[in-house]
A = this chain, B = another copy of it.
Amino acid sequence: MISTGIIVEYNPFHNGHLHHIREARRLTGADCIIAVMSGYFMQRGEPALVSKWARAEMAVLCGADLVVELPYAFAVQQAESFGSGGIAILDALQCRNFCFGSESGDIEKFRRAVSVLLKNESVFNTYVRCGMKNGISYPQALANSLNKLGAGDVLDLSSPNNILGFHYMLAAAKQNTGMEAFTVARKSAQHHDEAFADETIASATAIRKTLMRDNDPASIRTVVPKQSYALLTRCLKETGTFHHWGIYWPFLRYRLISASHEELRNIYEVEEGIEYRLKKAAIAADDFESFMKKVKTKRYTWTRIQRMCTHILTNTTKDEMKRHAAKPEYIRLLAMNEKGRAYLHRIKKNVPVPVVSKFSASLGPLIELDSRAAQIYALPLTKNGRDNLLHREYSRPPLMVGEPLR
C-alpha cells in the first residue's frame, strides 16, 4: 500500500487543493493520501474559518484518506517549525512519499537549494539572522541569503509556497526520513490574490476575504468542490458566522489592555519591546484591522504580528513552548475513510508516538495548548455552537467519512 503525505491547512478546501491531492495521488501512485492539518489556528496566525472537524471532513470527502492534526505548538509557527512538525508526523505515520504545492513546481530546484543550505548552514543562518536584525522580513532574508551563497537563481525563496516546500525538504533531510519528495505546481492564482483570477481557481486568501465580506458561501461556489461548498454552508448555518479575527478582537483587546508589559513579554514571539506598541494600539484601535495597521512596521510582517496576536489570545508563553519536544509527542486522528482506517491498522504498531482517537489530558503539555486553543476558538459561539464543538473536541472519536469525490 503506497502512502503519500501532504501538509495542509484547508482554510477552506478549494479547487487548487483538489488539484494538489489528485496530482499527489497520480505522481506518487499513492493508494493512501495522509494529510496532516493545522487545527483551530493557522500558520499565518488566523483563526480557522470553520472548525478543524469540518475541514478534516472536507479533506476526506475531497480525496484524502486520513487526516491527522498538526498540534498548535507546530502549526502556529514560522515555516521552519511548521514544516518540521508536519514532516515528523508524516514520517511517524510511515509515509513513503510526501508531496507539496509550490510556485516553482520543480522538485530538483528544491533539492539543490536544500543541498546548498546544508553545505553552508551556519553561514546561511547568520545571513538570515543579520538580515532580520536589519529589519527585513523573513522571506526576503531567506531569499537574500540563498543569493549570497550564489544560489539565488536555483529557487525563488520569496514565494510563500516555495518557502514552505523548502522547509519540508530541509526537515525531511535533517530528520533523515527517507521519504521521497514530490511537488505540484500551483494552478494560476497567486496565493496573495484577493480577487478571483478565473472561474474555478482562486487562492484561499481571496476565498476567505469574500466569505467574510458576504458571509455567504454562494459567492465562492465556483472555486471550491461541491463537498466543500456544502460543508461551509452547513457550518455557517450551525454557528451563524465564519471565524475570523473580527470576532476574537474583543478578547484580544481586553487581554492587551489588562495585561502588564511584563506579562506580554512572557508570551511566545513577543520580542524587542513590541509589547509597548501592541498595548498602545489596542487602546487606540476600534477593530482588528485598524489595530494591525497601527502595529505594522517594515520590520514586522503582517503574518508575524498576527501569529504573535494568536499566542497572546491563547496565552501561549515562551516557557510553554520551551517545554515541548522538537517532534510531536502524539498524533491525533481527525477523520478518515475505510482505506485510511485500514492503512492505520496496518502501520499502527510501527508508529513511535501514541496515535490518539480521543482527547486525553495525559498526553502532556502539548495537548494542553491544543485544548486551550479549542476552548478559545469556541468562545464567540452561541451556547449551542460552543457545546457542540467542545463535545466533538473532548468526547467523540475521529470522523469516519463515506465515499470520497472521484
Contact = CB atoms under 8 A, between A and B. Distances in A.
Nearest to A312: B258
A314 B375 contact: no
A206 interface: no
Contacts of A254: 251, 254-255, 376, 379
A286 interface: yes
A262 B251 CA distance: 20
A379 B256 CA distance: 12
A160 interface: no
A170 B239 CA distance: 56
A404 interface: no
Given A250-B250, A251-B251, A257 B383 contact: no
B383 A258 contact: no
B259 A315 contact: yes
Given A286-B383, A383-B286, A375 B257 contact: yes
Contacts of A250: 250-251, 379
Contacts of A253: 379
A151 to B, nearest CB: 44
Contacts of A130: none
Q: How many copies make up the complex?
A: 2
A260 B375 contact: no
Interface string A351-388: 00000000000000000000010011001000100000
Contacts of A2: none
Interface in A258-299: 258-260, 263, 283, 286
Majority DSSP secondary structure for residues of A touching B: helix
Contacts of A375: 257-258, 283
Contacts of A376: 254, 257-258
Contacts of A251: 250-251, 254
Contacts of A315: 258-260, 263
A222 to B, nearest CB: 37
Nearest to A258: B315
A260 B257 CA distance: 18
Contact of A379 (B257, B259, B260, B372): B257
A279 to B, nearest CB: 10
Nearest to A282: B375
A255 B259 CA distance: 11
Contacts of A286: 383
Interface of A: 250-251, 253-255, 257-260, 263, 283, 286, 313-315, 372, 375-376, 379, 383
- Closest 3 pairs (CB-CB, A-B): A258-B315, A251-B254, A257-B375
Given A254-B254, A257-B376, 10 more contacts: A250-B250, A251-B251, A251-B254, A253-B379, A257-B372, A257-B375, A258-B314, A258-B372, A260-B315, A283-B375
